[in-house]
Amino acid sequence: MSQDRQDERDAYRRRIPVEDLRMGMYVCELDRPWLETPFLLQGFPLHTDRELETLRQLCRYVYVDTERSEPGSIPLRHESSLPHPASKETVTIRETPSNLTPPPTEPARFQDHLKKAARVRNKTHDYLRRTLEHVRLGETVDTAEAQQLISELVEQVVETPSAMVWMTQLRNRDEYTSIHSVNVCILALTFGRYLGLNKDMLKIVGMGALLHDIGKLCVPLEVLNKPGALSHEEFEIMKSHPTAGHTLLCEDPNVPVGSLEAVLYHHERGDGRGYPRGLTAEQIPFTARLVSIVDIYDAMCSDRVYHDGLPPQEALSRIYRLGGPALDRELVEAFIRCIGVYPIGALVELTTGEVAVIVGLNERQKLRPVVQLLLEADQRPPSERRLMNLGSSAWRGRKDAPAVQRILEPGALGIDLTALILEQTEQPPSATKPEEMRQ
C-alpha cells in the first residue's frame, strides 16, 4: 500500500474504548494480535451481542474504520476521547458580588446602558435565528461568528451587568428557542463572572450556553411542540438532542471541548438520572453543571407552549430544592446569591403602594434593590420613568423610606416588560415566525 493510501486509511481510524462500542461499527484493529482472539476475520462489522461481549472481555480499546462503519454508529468527537466518567476540570468558585454593580439612577445613563446591552443582545439573537434556519436547511453552524459575539457579550456583561440581565426579560412565546438560548448565554456569563471566572473561561461557558439546545432542531416538531406530556417513545426522541447538538458542533475546531461538554451534558444530573450518559455528580464537567442550572432557571421563567412562566423567586425556590443530589448544591446556592432575593425583572409592590420593576441589585443591601417605577400608588402611570435606589444613603434613618412589600406575578396589572424594554431601547419588535421548543 502506498504511503498516501496508508495516510488516507489512517485518517478514518479511530481509537474507541470497548465500553463505547456500538453496533454497526467496523472494527479494523485490536489492542492485541488477532491470533490471540477467536475472531476469524481481521476486520469486521460489529453486529451481534456475542461479538461485543467478546471484545469487552479481551480488549480495553479497539480501532474502528469510520468510513466503513454504518452511519450513526460512530461516537462523537471528544465523546470517546473523554474519560468515562467524563472529565471534570478544577474550577475554583470565588464569589465576587462586586462584579454585579447596580445600574446608574440617572435616566440618561441608565438608558445608555440599556441601549448598549440591547445592541449586542439583538445581534446575538439575530445570529441564533439565522443559525436555526441554516441548520434546518442542513447547513453548518457558523461558530466563528458565535465566538465574536461571545466576546462582545463578555465585554458587555463586564461593563453593564444589570442591563444585560434586564435584557433577559425580552421574552416571546413564539420565539422560545432562540430567545431562551440567548438568555441562557447572558445569565451563564453573568453567573460565571460572579464566580470569578477569567475571560477565556467565560468565553468557553458562553459558547456552550449559546449553542446548548442546537440539537433540538434534529427533533421532530410534533414532539417539540406537543402541549401535553410526552410518551415514553417521544421522550426518548427528545433525549437525543444533546447528542445531536454535539454532532453538529464536534468537528468544528472553533468550539472548545468545555463548550462541547456543556452541549452534550447539560441534561445530566448528579443523581445519575440525567441523559445521555446517566453521569453522576463527580463525573459531570463544570461547564455542564453551570449551564444546566441556568438552563432550568430560564426555562422555568419562560412562557412556553405547554406552560406559563413562573415568577423568578418561585423558579429559584424550585431550583434550590433540586440542589443536591440532582444539581450541584454549591453552584445552586451561589447562583441564587448571584440572582438575588429580588431578581432583576421581578415586579414588586413597594410599601408606598407604588408598583416597580427591579432593574439592579445592591451588593451590601440585598433587600433594597434598584427599581424603576411603573405605577403610582393610585395605579396610574407616572409622568416619567423614575429610578430609585432603595439602598441609597439618602433614605437612611427616614421612616418614609420605600421598601419592597411583596413580589407580584409576571404580567400583573397588565404590565408588559418586553414592551417596556423595547420602548426604552428604541428597538422595534421584529417580525418572526413561531418556533416553539420544549425544555
Instruction: Give me the pLDDT at residue 85, please.
Output: 39
Question: Which pLDDT value is given to residue 431?
Answer: 41
What mean pLDDT do residues 305-322 have?
86
User: Residue 121 half-sphere exposure, CB side, CA atoms within 13 Å?
Assistant: 30
CB-based burial label for 343 (10 Å; 0-12, 13-18, 19+): buried
Q: Where are the alpha helices (DSSP H) in 15-160?
A: 49-58, 107-136, 143-159
Listed in sequence order, the DSSP H helices in 195-240 are 199-210, 221-224, 232-238
Q: What is the pLDDT of residue 250?
A: 84
pLDDT at res. 432 = 40
| DSSP codes joined into one string, 84-123 | SSPP---------GGGSPPPPSSHHHHHHHHHHHHHHHHH
DSSP assignment, residue 276?
S
Average the pLDDT over 237-261 and give the result.
90
384 CB burial (10 A radius; 0-12, 13-18, 19+): exposed
User: What is the per-residue pLDDT across 160-188, written as a single tens digit (0 to 9) for each?
Assistant: 999 999 999 988 777 887 899 999 999 99
The rounded percent of the chain whose pLDDT value lies above 70 is: 90
- For residue 211 the three cell numbers come to 449553542
- Confidence label for 145 from pLDDT (cuts 50, 70 and 90): very high
Phi and psi at residue 222, to the nearest 5°:
-65, -25
Q: Mapping DSSP to helix (H, G, I), strand (E, B) and coil, where does residue 293 land?
A: helix
The mean of the pLDDT values for the chain is 85
Say if residues 21 and 52 touch (Cβ distance below 8 Å).
yes
pLDDT, average across residues 360-387:
91
Q: In this model, does residue 385 exceed pLDDT 90?
A: no
- Lowest mean pLDDT, pick from 68-82, 108-122, 329-343, 347-361: 68-82
Asked if pLDDT for residue 340 goes beyond 60, the answer is yes
- pTM, entire model: 0.77
Write down the pLDDT at residue 342. Answer: 92
CA distance 51 to 57: 10
Percentage, residues of the chain above pLDDT 90: 49
| pLDDT confidence tier of residue 83, bands split at 50, 70 and 90 | very low
Q: What is the pLDDT of residue 271?
A: 92
Residue 112 scores a pLDDT above 80 = yes
The string of pLDDT tens digits covering residues 203-219 is: 999 999 999 999 998 88
CA distance 286 to 88: 6
- With respect to CATH, is domain 97-339 assigned 1.10.520.10? no
Distances (CA, A) of 182 to 106, 114, 124, 242, 289: 28, 16, 7, 17, 18
pLDDT at residue 14, as a whole number? 77
User: What is residue 137's three-state secondary structure?
Assistant: coil
